[in-house]
């Protein structure tokens, strides 16, 4: 009898799983992962680093605040569990960073946080695969590149305008440290984010690695990443200003009278401050100046009396709706305008309104979509008795986008001006977070940046991101600042190369994902990548089994007294066989 062959890894009596059965298994495993209490701990771990942003401003926390979440991902029993923990980490982060949107979009905030949280699954899986025990030097070095790269990919993806824009990027936590922001002049806010994430990864490795050599290596990389900004600040001399411009920022306060009268009143007498440009906040004019000649004439007269152009902002009536427009008013009328291009999701328009329009019935989401402009635009200011100055004018939400101020700088802007309101979020962290972006944009472009807010925060920064003046939401009035303007053709490395850092991070993350996929496929049975090797091994096993069967048959015949192959009964040789004896 031929012995039964042992089959591993299969059950011949089991029916093959159908697609529906496999789907049920996936959802069952996902439900199990979501039900683990340790996975839910990732929610507060994700919220923790948000304390590094304004208004708490615990910026030192950013350098180690990711470690608890990364540790939870690292100790997950599987890559799937790590992905779930990364997902909930991202959900907690987004809920805490954008909590102030709840009055505007209601339950949509939770839905958005859960959706965006899924982007952090790559952070969870990469941390788990590269840093599970034992942590070798090679895997530690790979993690120090790949984990921050995945974090940066998350920031880059959600920076798309349709995904709410680049709010709460990790690099913005360092807005109060011009030395660290020197990295922004090289690679934008992206490089600052990468450095902060790399330090967190290095700290994690130094805590969990078993070998002292690996721990020292990770600590050394973390120190280098943390010191890179201050080193660049010390080694890069500041560009000497070519000339100066005196700018007055007008902030009427939380409840200004309509039609811009509060800004008009505060702007009277600024001639004594030698202002060369007066900037009002977003929506500082309650009427359309192109349709209200009396109000326009009043602002023209004010500009003449103050001896300075006035940059105002209004909601203009255009074909098909309304737009946010900045207008430069001089004694000779309106000499320049810019229409807001990047609108606030849900506040000024609802993405996919056909599917999400129901949010207007349960929240303060925009009842209709505003009309966007056609891109960044540089205006020319001509102060009396001074040379013309080119300014890049942007409105509100647009301060979060590094590409818009970069375009203005490349087009010759010597000063970046933001107009904003933020009155909707007056009692939240949003105004302080919003103001912090001006420091980042200044460091990136090498230009001074000012922000005039209707209700605060109004701020001014020099070309290296150092704070020169500010007014919080509890204040109202006028702040005047003298700004040093760089040469018109001066450009930072970021101005020249743009988003090279996120592109590099995306490449590193893609290569890491490809390597992980190939490794997984090689470990998977009956896959084309391993089919040849597995087929050869199966043939070898089959040959060995046939040889064993033949030996067992021969042994069985001899034991029964039967002739073996090549013999006849009685021990006589078979016909045609030689006997070794001469023929008779």
**Domain residues of the chain, as ranges?**
33-237+501-521, 243-341+376-489
Specify the pTM.
Answer: 0.83
Q: Which two tokens stand for residue 313?
A: 């902002």
Check residues 231 and 4 and name the one with the higher pLDDT: 231
Q: What is the mean pLDDT of residues 64-83?
A: 95
pLDDT at 491: 94
Would you say residue 90 has pLDDT above 80? yes
**The domain 243-341+376-489 is classified under which CATH number: 3.60.110.10, 1.20.140.10, 2.60.200.20, 3.40.50.1220?**
3.60.110.10
Helix/strand/coil for 526: coil
Half-sphere exposure of 352 (CA within 13 A, CB side): 5
* Cis-peptide, bond into residue 457, ω within 30° of zero: yes
Check residues 113 and 260 and name the one with the higher pLDDT: 113
Pairing mode of beta strands 321-330, 243-251: unpaired
Distance (Å, rounded) from C-alpha 535 to C-alpha 530?
8
Q: Where are the strands (E) in 4-158, listed by range?
A: none
Q: Give residue 310's Cα distance to chain centre.
A: 36
pLDDT at 20: 52
User: 93-116: per-residue pLDDT in tens?
Assistant: 999 999 988 877 778 789 889 999
pLDDT at 119: 96
pLDDT at 425: 79
User: 508-559: per-residue pLDDT in tens?
Assistant: 999 999 998 898 888 876 655 555 555 555 566 666 666 666 666 665 555 5
Query: How many other CB atoms sit within 10 Å of the CB of residue 5?
Result: 9
Q: Please name which of 486, 531, 457 lies closest in space to residue 281, comparing C-alpha atoms.
A: 457
Q: Give residue 408's Cα distance to chain centre.
A: 23
pLDDT at 21: 53
Decide if 250 contacts 478 (C-beta within 8 A): yes
Q: What is the mean pLDDT of residues 305-320?
A: 87
Q: Where are the strands (E) in 280-398, listed by range?
A: 310-318, 321-330, 333-339, 378-381, 389-395
Q: What is the mean pLDDT of residues 371-390?
A: 90
Contacts with 318 (C-beta within 8 Å, 6 or more apart), sequence order: 371
Would you say residue 228 has pLDDT above 70? yes
């Amino acid at each position: 009898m031929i012995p039964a062959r042992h089959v591993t890894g299969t059950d011949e009596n089991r029916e093959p799983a159908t697609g529906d059965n496999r789907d049920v298994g996936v959802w069952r495993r996902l439900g199990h992962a979501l039900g683990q209490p340790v996975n839910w701990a990732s929610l507060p771990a994700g919220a923790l680093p948000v304390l590094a942003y304004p208004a708490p401003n615990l910026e030192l926390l950013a350098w180690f605040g990711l470690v608890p979440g990364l540790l939870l991902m690292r100790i997950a029993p599987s890559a799937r569990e790590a992905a779930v923990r990364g997902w909930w980490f991202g959900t907690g982060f987004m809920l805490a960073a954008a909590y102030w949107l709840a009055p505007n979009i209601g339950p949509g905030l939770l839905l958005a946080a859960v959706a965006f949280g899924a982007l952090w699954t790559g952070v969870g899986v990469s941390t788990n695969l590269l840093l599970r025990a034992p942590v070798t030097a090679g895997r530690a070095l790979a993690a120090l590149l790949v984990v921050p790269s995945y974090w940066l990919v998350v920031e880059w993806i959600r920076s798309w305008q349709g995904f709410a824009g680049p709010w709460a990027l990790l690099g913005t936590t360092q807005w109060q440290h011009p030395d660290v922001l020197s990295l922004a002049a090289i690679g934008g806010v992206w490089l600052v984010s990468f450095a902060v994430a790399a330090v967190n990864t290095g700290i994690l490795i130094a805590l969990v690695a078993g070998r002292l050599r690996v721990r020292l290596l990770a600590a050394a990389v973390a120190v280098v990443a943390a010191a890179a900004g201050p080193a660049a600040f010390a080694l890069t001399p500041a560009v000497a200003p070519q000339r100066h411009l005196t700018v007055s920022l007008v902030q009427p306060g939380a409840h200004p009278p309509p039609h811009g009268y509060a800004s008009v009143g505060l702007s009277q007498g600024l001639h004594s401050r030698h202002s060369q440009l007066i900037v009002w906040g977003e929506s500082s004019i309650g009427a359309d100046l192109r349709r209200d000649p009396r109000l326009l004439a009043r602002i023209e007269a004010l500009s003449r009396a103050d001896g300075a152009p006035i940059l105002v902002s209004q909601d203009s009536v255009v074909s098909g709706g309304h737009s946010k427009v900045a207008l430069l008013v001089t004694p000779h009328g309106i000499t320049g305008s810019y229409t807001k291009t990047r609108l606030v999701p849900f506040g000024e328009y609802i993405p996919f309104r056909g599917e999400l329009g129901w949010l207007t019935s349960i929240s303060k989401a925009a009842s209709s979509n505003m009309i966007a402009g056609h891109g960044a635009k540089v205006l020319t200011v001509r102060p009396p008795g001074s040379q013309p100055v080119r300014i890049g004018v942007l409105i509100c939400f647009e301060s979060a986008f590094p590409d818009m101020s970069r375009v203005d700088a490349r087009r010759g802007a010597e000063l970046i001006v933001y107009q904003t309101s933020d009155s909707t979020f007056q009692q939240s962290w949003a105004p302080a977070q919003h103001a912090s972006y001006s420091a980042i944009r200044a460091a990136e472009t090498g230009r001074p940046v000012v922000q005039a807010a209707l209700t605060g925060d109004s701020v001014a920064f020099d070309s290296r991101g150092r704070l020169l003046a500010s007014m919080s939401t509890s204040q109202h009035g006028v702040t005047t600042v003298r700004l040093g303007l760089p040469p018109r053709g001066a450009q930072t490395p970021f101005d020249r190369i743009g988003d090279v850092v996120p592109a590099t991070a995306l490449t590193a993350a893609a290569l890491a994902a490809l390597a992980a996929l190939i490794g997984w496929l090689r470990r998977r049975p009956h896959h084309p990548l391993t089919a040849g090797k597995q087929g050869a091994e199966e043939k070898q096993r089959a040959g060995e089994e046939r040889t064993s069967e033949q030996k067992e048959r021969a042994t069985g015949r001899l034991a029964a007294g039967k002739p073996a192959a090549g013999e006849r009964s009685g021990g006589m040789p078979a016909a045609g066989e030689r006997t070794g004896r001469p023929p008779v």
